[in-house]
Amino acid sequence: MPIVLDARTAHDHFPGIGRYVVNLAHALKRIAPDFDLIVLRDPTAKSRLALPNLPTTDCPISPFSIRQQWIVPRQLRGLRATLYHSSYYLMPYRPGAPTVLTCYDLIPIVYPQYFSAAQRLIYRITHILALNTARTTLAISEFTRSDLARHFRASAQRIVVTPLAADAHFTPQPPERIAAVRRTYKLPERYVLYFGSNKPHKNLIRLIQAWQRSAVSRQRSALVVAGHWDTRYNETRQLVEALNLNDRVVFAGPIDDADLPALYSGAQLFAFPSLYEGFGLPALEAMTCGTPVACSNTSSLPEVVGDAGLLFDPLDVGAMADTLRRALNDDELCADLRQRGLQRAAQFTWERTAERTLGVYRDLSSG
């Protein structure tokens, strides 16, 4: 009797969660090709992510639809599912099979000021329902595990940490590939990179202030801010204008996934000042590409970066500026960070994530 992995989040609307569920499915197939796994997919979903060649069953119902509460359990009964794994907290809350749930972060709980009262209420209620439905919850970091225990009083014994990993194409890139990507996005030869969204908890305001304060910003280097841009939060662009930093800060916008490894590889330093991360995948991707990393000493980032990066207090602009200056003026330090970063990143693989997940499946199926 099969285990059903719900991959309806393999959708462009869920870029991070979609990458997680697709990479997990691929890795499960690699390490246990004979394991009886069925992937629940939405045939109407628009996605750049390809699901592996595994048995699938179609379910054209969005996780946002109330209809999933009776349609998905009916499908699970028809499949005689031994276990159901939901990759999202909006899920059937009476699935009719032992359930595994994956949790990533609790941003609406930690930063309620950025969400309406209705959004916060729905988020809390649906999380309570999901956590009560799941026999085991997978957390993507020890930090997320502790957050779940703190904010929802979830039992630590029912939470298993299964860290993320960088995709296979994240490797150090050759100079010609780096040069081609620089031309595509009109980037300078020397740059410090930030990649991520511009949401307030990403702390870009302080990064810009630190860049302006750092003497490095008056040299030939530029700060490149890349990633999806939410027009609700334009304070960063306004600050760049106010500080007259237009010639030293480049807003590159969204980056094609195929170009990301070269974007990371070409950077002198990857700067990640986020206040809150469930895992902090960009920092791991940068290390995998051989790029030195300087990041916040908060949330999950220290457990991802370990001793392979420079850590700073993200609330202290002066400390952030000093870290940028130290890294970019010390070639020997950067060379050491590159080597340590590659070694650290090698500890995170999708195969290890799949092995831990498979262990949970087997424990619940036999128990």
Question: In CATH, what number is assigned to the domain containing residue 50?
Answer: 3.40.50.2000
Q: What is the pLDDT of residue 327?
A: 92
Q: Is residue 145 part of a domain?
A: yes
Residues recorded for the chain: 367
> What amino acid occupies position 76?
L
Q: What is the pLDDT of residue 367?
A: 67
CB 114 within 8 A of CB 199: yes
212 and 139 within one domain? no
Low-confidence ranges of the chain (pLDDT < 50): none
The residue ranges of DSSP E strands in 211-279, in sequence order, are: 222-226, 249-253, 269-272
Q: Which of 106, 151, 111 is nearest to 278 (CA)?
A: 106
pLDDT of residue 14: 85
Domain range for 192: 175-345
The pLDDT of residue 336: 97
Residue 180 placed within a domain = yes
What pLDDT score was predicted for residue 28? 95
Compute the half-sphere exposure of residue 217: CA atoms within 13 Å on the CB side of its CA. 25
Q: Residue written as tokens 């609406």?
A: 108
- Predicted TM-score (pTM) of the model is 0.93
Contact call for residues 263 and 226 (beta carbons, < 8 A): yes
Do 298 and 160 reside in the same domain of the chain?
A: no
Residue 285 near residue 306, CB atoms below 8 Å:
no
Residue 85 forms part of a structural domain:
yes
- 45 plus 128 within the same structural domain: yes
- Which DSSP letter does residue 245 get? -
Phi, psi of 224 (to 5 degrees): -100, 120
Cα of first residue to Cα of last residue in the chain, in angstroms, is 14
Residues 91 and 141 in one domain: yes
Q: Tell me, yes or no, whether 154 and 184 share the same domain.
A: no
In a domain, 28, yes or no: yes
Q: How many domains does the chain have?
A: 2
Residues 234 and 292 placed together within one structural domain of the fold: yes
40, two tokens: 């629940």
Residues 278 and 340 in one domain: yes
> Is residue 168 within 8 Å of 257, Cβ to Cβ?
no
User: Which amino acid type is present at position 275?
Assistant: L
Query: Same structural domain for residues 32 and 47?
Result: yes
Let me know whether 182 and 320 are in one domain.
yes
Kindly state whether residue 112 falls inside one of the protein's structural domains: yes
108 and 39 both lie in a single domain: yes
152 plus 185 within the same structural domain? no
- Note whether residue 48 is domain-resident: yes
Strand partners for 5: 39, 85
Statement to judge: residues 280 and 233 lie in one domain? yes
Domain presence at residue 353: yes
CA-nearest of 8, 44, 46, 45 to 25 is 8
Q: Could you tell me which residues come within 8 angstroms of residue 11 by beta carbon, excluding any fewer than 6 positions away? A: 18, 42, 45, 46, 47
The two counts, helices (H) then strands (E), for the chain are 14, 13
Strand partners, 171: none
Residue 170 included in any domain: no
* CB-based burial label for 253 (10 Å; 0-12, 13-18, 19+): exposed
Give the pLDDT of residue 219.
64
